[in-house]
Chains A and B, each alone.
Chain A
């Protein structure tokens, strides 16, 4: 599957059908964000799909960006907010594409959205949930260096600004394994945080006997614990015991009252049997509201727990306490009551009726009668007096009777009961020896191994693999037992099928024999309930219903002897079944299934966790144990328990302890949310999923994963980031110390055929340089070394940046590939071995090593792409061609960003806008059909009203209110002048509070509003919108940030924080009283685009705009279109550039919306964004033409600078690369078959004079070398280079060239190749690898000449008032995020006029221009902010200061010789305002009167009397207030 490389021109058009005006964008990193904004702002509905919790992608993780040094978060955050605010962008988080059908223009996309477990509309992002959450997991955002809670927000600026939970898709093994459904991970997590009562409560939800269960449970949870693979399972059972014991021991401090049952039901239920199954069912039914009576034949409740389990394992007082707790819930108990016919208990039943006996009072019965019969051996002598059935023996011991037995005891059996009996016997007075005989081998014994071990410790002697044949008696007294050898116990299938060898016999002497070989059920008494084999009651597996309607059965009586937890599980199930029976429901229970099949269990999320053995449970010494029946396990101390609980790996991620639910005041958390699927109708799909970093553990030789001081570059970004895990301190993970020597290893997972990543990741050289510079800024004494292969600083201003790192900051660049690191013992430093310039092996130690990881397409995208039907290349990136870089293999699906090829942020942003433009072209007819604009009520005129300020003080849950006394703030605020209303709210941004604000504005006729809450950065738009909804001008809002600036920063000083909050609110009141309504204006958009330059860039931009329906004037100074591309015949991937050019020119000239002006230039430009007027001069036409247009595109290109060295121009055998391309294309090369061709790179560039890289020459050299190699197979081709900058997939061509025998020889700029021209071309060059000069006689010498800007760029720059950079290329508004915009609105640039670049990049950038320009051209008018500078003409002295300082060229001196500020151009930065010597300029909404009033409010610190007349001495160019206060004081509002 490959693309048709002949496809030169992108396809478009929606096949006749009306297209849909909505676009789906998959991936919400910077690419998806940019594309969303471009599309939404130009009339398309956007669905922005993101697989994680929040948008922002990788860029949000970066500290700073290169080469500008901007804070990444500071520059991306406004974009995040803009996306969040845009009502035509719907962000769909935790989602991915499931299916797509339809075709370009009309797709139907099914998406799958995982649950967030938080209701986004209710969450206020207060963070109380995360505060409460006991689970800390490695933070993905900090790449594991820091922690996050199970409920979290990846970073504080995240959009959507709400919390969420990511649960494991599978269940925590411990939880899944517990038959009773106890939330094991939940209580362990809570214990780890010392929340003991909370843990106890979680246990109690499913376990009515926590302290009992915590002692004797067989803990299937521990068997499954993922920790077992690391060291040992977490001691979940012992922790349960600790929680219960602790709560019981602290009864005075900890309130432990049984929960309230549900509303009473009228039905009554009888439970027969007070063992664990019966008690569990009784509790569950009681909680459901039923009246429950428990019947038990024994005098005390507890069943086998009381009469079977020895007291040294389960003390009676523990059991008593927990049973009493259950009885306190209102469960009635009737003990010493043996029931013969359970049917008689039923109110109405066939059985009862048939017997003609009296009706019972119960509506249902649960029979949990247990298994109380001891199994018999069936051998002679068993009836002797001193032969004890095991259970009888234990019953006697446990009731406190001390059965009289002989001194030599023999226990027969190998199970737990045998151990219990043997160990009990050891404790009885008079017993001298206890032996135990069983059929099984030691390792086959059914008893738990720890029980057997403890029995051995206590002196029980085992005799294994023997079976009793006869109990020997003498005078009716037992003397011993005869045995024969047991050769096997289980058959091949594992079934019990013993075989004996009668030849091998033995005998053991004993005077007492205890037989413990199984238990039976005495269910005969339960007639008419049907029974089966072994006397077991027959009950339905699922519903536990017996043959008698209304009678249910469970526990040992049904299953035979089972563990405590299995019995409890049956109790739960019975209660559910009975409840359904009584409610007349039939559907089966949906209790948590205990499926422990591996595929349903969550894997260990922290495989790198440090091994840490479990805390042993303290035990009494053996000697003390045997002294009596005191409990032998002593229980954990609090410290031990917490330490043990901390070993939990949190496999389910969220522990589902539900503390967050309790902590969340708005009630936003819902743990029962389920996955959803949705179907979207869209016209086009954009793929912007970004990249993942290479998995560094695949290159284990560098130590990542086991050497703590080896970190990845993304981790290092987090370390550098002020908001990162180390708060921006450069420290080593191993010891938190500042490193002194730091090394970067480049190309880890890039340019590496070993792991199939044989492409270059394009960004790492610069990223490492940036990180080095930042680290130096943080720690000036740090020595930094970057080990690299080729320094690929090919972008605009990149070489300068590296030069600065090298020469100014002393970063050491060593060209050597590191093969491994050695972690030094003790110091944990890393030893690195490299080859120095003299090709000698050098060993050097570093404190810390940063791996520059390659970029890979993300794994999850691969499947999605398949579902989308998009062809991927062999690495999993989207397949595109050089001349169609934005189109995937499927029409209507476009690609942008690193998913197309690894690229940096500007190229990503550029390509995102370009992909957006491709969608716009496709969907042009549907523009505006799916968007909506909000309408507001008419604005109230408040100019005549005295200020009536309403103040809303926010609690922000407990975020503010727990520190700041919000009531005091309200009280003090009410005293202030103008304040007509003040109150406090739990969450001011909540929907209901916003409605309250609207109602209050109406009720109190407020005309100014103050919200004292959080930051205006995120919340001002919300409240401004509220004002507009209430009919008030949005500029009459003021915010006081009493959260960030008071409660958060002064959390330790609540009084001062409150005082500061009062001050801030007072300042806001003083200021807002002087605010005036500002009306945002609009400016009309007239005409289409003016494109300057008719090369590939200009033509592509013109077509991309014209195809959207916008008229375009294309101006070209030459007599023909085409530009530099005419000299390029083929692309690296073999596409025909000539044919592409011909097609493009034809499309341009045929397009009725494009007017081509050949031989023309722009002579004059007037106007501003939306309405420019320009004059075009054509050769020989004096007057020229005047055109009107809304935007301007600069696409004037660049040119190759002809060299002045290496004999160029004087010898025909010396060419430039561009000339060689032309000659190859025209087949115009005459060379001997064995010709020697030498290419010299970086000629007259990357030097003092031209300190930049022309980006394309290395690839061009490789391309031409390969073409020559194909044409002249015997030729010797040599490329002399400084750094081969074949970035991205171009790297594979570089490798192919080497494989095909092209020689690449590096030279240092200090020792460039020398040419002698004496008839022959004789080239002398120094070969660093061999360390000496080589002499070459080329037949053809090809020079990589620099790409330089056009000579006439200055003229255009002045005409358009747009800047050039130091190298003469046009300078964009922002090198990272606005790569195709000029700083002035409405002006754009693309192609090599911006910087040297390839055709594919030019095509992207030209499309990007169309995407950006559409947001202007698609409107009839564009909004103009009124928060701009205004010049008071009376004060202006026409000094031109404002004209000089304005970075946007907004002010100009108008016709009346006074400065004027063009509203469409002004950005409201305030530079002119502060610099104006006559103080003639005011920035609206930031008038000095407002600022002075705020300061006065702060400094005077007292309530001032309201002014009688408005105090607005300052003109701001809008209607002035006209009010006066007739009343002494406005009425104060009280809630």
Chain B
């Protein structure tokens, strides 16, 4: 199983732990990743909020580069995934958009490069059976609320590899890893996304709403697959506590970090020390991975 990997900017910076854990997990599951050489930013929210040509051309440039590699493109970041898929969708279905993309990039592109998300690969290509067989340290005792966020599965005509309103792919991966996923209603609610800097109040309010519901549902941690969600819920948790003060610390881990632990990978290889809310205590209680560092807020 080989993929052209598009890490994206977040994974190169704030979400380096997502990057590291993704690569580690893929390695453990025999998923070969080859980075797209010389990739550029997908444009993310800023591009598509300001310039339609740019929002289309940036992902297309990356896809054109990937086209030469001959393997499907995989990405772990929900936002990158959304932008790449959207670009493909437009190029495939709207001739004018295709013309625009080709004009801006100066190269032909027919939308033919397949783009898949890490979760899609794990559930539908590697398969839960294979994951189950590779689990070395089942995540017993972890009650995880899987948090998918807005972008991963919506709009369904562009991205959905799972039920858009009630996704279960992350839950099944975590169940295969021995954790107990909790059913909760805010799986696809918004975390405040890009308002993290500009309107932190909104992010705190939404974050608090999400964390309280996860706690109410019996979760003791959250699993995410989006750098933005992770930052808003993990990094902002101190602020959330300051404003509301009614919740215990709730570690927010990338799904790859949790899966990596289950596969027996070392905490170091998963970047666990990058987390603000340290999962150490939680993991120690579950005897999943002793001795995890980090912990800015705990």
Q: Interface residues, chain A, CB within 8 Å of chain B?
A: 700-701, 703, 705-706, 820, 822-826, 831
A822–B185 CB distance below 8 A: yes
> Contact at B165–A820, with CB atoms within 8 Å?
yes
Mask of B182-201 contacts with A, CB within 8 angstroms, 1/0? 11111000000000000000
Which of B165, B166, B218 has a CB less than 8 Å from the CB of A825? B218
Known contacts A705-B166, A822-B185, A823-B185; 14 additional CB pairs below 8 A are A700-B163, A700-B164, A700-B165, A700-B166, A703-B165, A703-B166, A706-B166, A823-B183, A824-B216, A825-B185, A825-B213, A825-B216, A826-B216, A826-B217
| A825–B164 touching, CB < 8 Å | no
Interface contact A825-B163, CB-CB below 8 Å: no
Chain B residues 198-224 with CB under 8 Å of chain A are 213, 216-218
The chain B residue with its CB closest to the CB of A699 is B165
Contact with A along B166-192 (1 / 0, CB 8 A): 100000000000000011111000000
Nearest CB on A from B7, distance (A): 29
Contact (Cβ within 8 A) A822 B186: yes
Contact, CB under 8 Å: B185 / A824: yes
Residues of B within 8 A of A705 (CB): 166
- Chain B residues in 8 Å Cβ range of A825: 182-185, 213, 216-218
Complex contacts, A826 vs chain B, CB 8 Å: 216-218
Distance between Cα atoms of A908 and B129 in the complex (Å): 53
Chain B residues, CB < 8 A from A823: 183, 185
A residues within 8 A CB of B163?
Answer: 700
CB distance from A749 to the nearest CB of B (A): 15
Task: Contacts A823-B185, A825-B185 given; indicate if A701 touches B165 (C-beta within 8 A).
Answer: yes
Q: For residue B165, which residues in chain A have a CB less than 8 angstroms away from its CB? A: 700-701, 703, 820
**Nearest A residue (CB) for B217:** A825
- Which 7 interchain pairs have the tightest Cβ spacing? A700-B165, A825-B217, A822-B185, A706-B166, A701-B165, A823-B185, A825-B184
Of residues 139 through 167 on chain B, the ones whose CB sits less than 8 Å from some CB of chain A are 163-166
Q: In whole angstroms, how far apart are the Cα atoms of A700 and B185 in the complex?
A: 12
Interface centre among A825, A826, A831 (most CB of B within 10 A): A825
Cα separation A825 to B165 with both chains bound (whole Å): 16
If over half of A's interface residues share one DSSP class (helix, strand or loop), that class is named, otherwise mixed; here it is loop
**Contact between A831 and B185 (Cβ–Cβ < 8 Å)?**
yes
Q: Give the docked Cα–Cα distance between A1440 and B9 (Å).
A: 96
Contacts of B182 in A (CB 8 A): 825
A-B contact pairs, 10 of them (CB 8 A): A701-B165, A703-B166, A705-B166, A820-B165, A823-B185, A825-B182, A825-B216, A825-B218, A826-B217, A831-B185
- The chain A residue sitting closest to B128, CB to CB, is A231
Chain B's nearest CB lies how many Å from the CB of A165? 33
Closest to B172 in A: A611
B45 to chain A, nearest CB (A): 23
Nearest chain A CB to B185's CB is how many angstroms away? 4
Min CB distance A739 to B, Å, is 18
Residues from chain A with Cβ under 8 Å of B218 in the complex: 825-826
Report chain A residues within 8 Å CB of B183: 823, 825
Measured CA separation A815–B184 after assembly (Å):
28
**In the complex, residue of chain B having the shortest beta-carbon distance to the beta carbon of A831:** B185
Interchain CA distance A1173-B182 in the complex, whole Å: 79
Separation of A1486 and B201 alpha carbons in the complex (Å): 82
Which A residues are in CB contact (< 8 Å) with B185?
822-825, 831
A701 to B164 CA separation, bound complex (whole angstroms): 9
Minimal beta-carbon separation of B274 from chain A (angstroms): 29
Note all chain B residues with C-beta closer than 8 A to A703: 165-166
> Could you say which residues of chain A place their CB within 8 Å of the CB of B213?
825
CB of A117, distance to nearest CB on chain B (Å): 36
Q: Chain B's nearest CB lies how many Å from the CB of A451?
A: 15
Residues of B contacting A701 in the complex (Cβ-Cβ under 8 angstroms): 165
Complex-state Cα separation, A700 to B154, whole angstroms: 12
**Bound complex: CA of A703 vs CA of B185, how far in Å?**
10
Give the distance to chain A from B96, nearest Cβ to Cβ, in Å: 23
CB neighbours of A824 from chain B (8 A): 185, 216
In the assembled complex, the Cα of A824 lies from the Cα of B185 at a distance in Å of 6
CB distance from B162 to the nearest CB of A (A): 11
* Most chain A CB inside 10 Å of its own CB: which residue of B163, B184, B185: B185
Q: From B218, which residue of chain A is reached at the shortest CB distance?
A: A825
Residues of chain A contacted by B186 (CB below 8 angstroms) = 822
- Nearest Cβ distance between residue A1115 and chain B, in whole angstroms? 61
State A1440–B186 Cα separation when bound (angstroms).
72
- Chain B residue numbers with a CB within 8 Å of A831 are 185
B37-75 interface mask toward A, CB cutoff 8 Å, 1 = contact, 0 = none? 000000000000000000000000000000000000000
Q: In the docked arrangement, what's the CA distance between A825 and B216, Å?
A: 7
- A419→B232 CA distance, assembly (Å): 54
Nearest CB of chain B from residue A1148's CB, rounded to whole Å? 55
CB distance from B53 to the nearest CB of A (A): 28
> In the assembly, what is the distance between CA of A824 and CA of B212, in Å?
12
In the bound complex, what is the Cα–Cα distance between A825 and B183 (angstroms)?
7
- What CA separation (Å) do A580 and B164 show in the bound complex? 58
Q: Which of B163, B165, B216 has the most CB of A within 10 A?
A: B165
Q: Please, how many angstroms separate the alpha-carbon atoms of A97 and B163 in the complex?
A: 36
CB distance from A847 to the nearest CB of B (A): 15
A1017 to chain B: closest CB distance in Å? 46
Determine the residue in chain B with the shortest Cβ distance to A449. B133
CA distance A826 to B185 in the complex (A): 11
Q: State the Cβ distance, B181 to closest chain A Cβ, in Å.
A: 12
* Alpha-carbon distance A822/B183, docked complex (angstroms): 11
Of all chain A residues, which has the CB nearest B164? A700
Query: Residues of A contacting B184 with CB < 8 Å?
Result: 825
B170–chain A nearest beta-carbon distance, Å: 15
Closest to A228 in B: B129
CA distance A700 to B165 in the complex (A): 6
Q: Closest approach, in angstroms, between the C-beta of B118 and any C-beta of chain A? A: 22
For the complex formed, measure the closest distance between the CB of A454 and the CB atoms of chain B, giving whole angstroms: 15
Closest to B163 in A: A700
Which of B183, B216, B218 lies at the interface centre, i.e. has the most chain A CB atoms within 10 A of its CB? B183
Closest chain B CB from A754 CB (angstroms):
11
Q: Shortest Cβ distance from A456 into chain B, in angstroms? A: 13
Which residues of chain A have C-beta atoms less than 8 A from B166's C-beta? 700, 703, 705-706
Residue of A nearest to B216 (CB): A825
A624 CA / B109 CA spacing, docked (Å): 65
Residue of chain A at shortest CB distance from B186: A822
> Complex: how many Å from CA A1179 to CA B165?
71
Cα separation A701 to B185 with both chains bound (whole Å):
10
**Bound form: Cα–Cα A1062–B216 in Å:** 64
Q: How many Å lie between the Cα of A700 and that of B166 in the bound state?
A: 7
Residue in chain A with minimal CB distance to B130: A443
Complex Cα spacing A823 to B166, Å: 11
Among residues of B, the one whose C-beta sits closest to the C-beta of A701 is B165
A823 vs B184: C-alpha distance when bound (angstroms): 7
A705-B183 Cα distance, complex, nearest whole Å:
14
Chain A nearest CB from B287 CB (Å) reads 23
- Residues of chain B within 8 A of A822, CB atoms compared: 185-186
A695 to chain B, nearest CB (A): 14
User: In whole angstroms, what is the CA distance A825 to B184 when docked?
Assistant: 6
A-side contacts of B217, CB under 8 Å: 825-826
Q: Smallest Cβ distance from A450 to chain B, in angstroms? A: 12
For the complex, give the distance between the alpha carbons of A826 and B213 in Å.
11
> In whole angstroms, what is the CA distance A831 to B185 when docked?
9
Please indicate which of the listed interface residues B163, B166, B183 has the most CB atoms of chain A within 10 Å of its own CB: B166
By a CB distance below 8 angstroms, the chain B residues around A820 are 165
* Binary contact track B105-123/A, C-beta < 8 Å → 1, others 0: 0000000000000000000
A825 to B219, CA, bound (A): 11
Q: Report Cα–Cα, A822/B184, bound state, in Å.
A: 8
> Complex Cα distance A826/B163, Å?
22
A820 to B166, CA, bound (A): 12
Q: How far is the CB of B1 from chain A (nearest CB, A)?
A: 13
What CA separation (Å) do A822 and B218 show in the bound complex? 16
Q: Report how far A696 CA is from B251 CA in the complex, Å.
A: 36
CB closest residue in chain B, given A453:
B133
CA distance A826 to B218 in the complex (A): 9
| Closest Cβ–Cβ distance, residue A1505 to chain B (whole Å) | 76
A822 to B187, CA, bound (A): 10
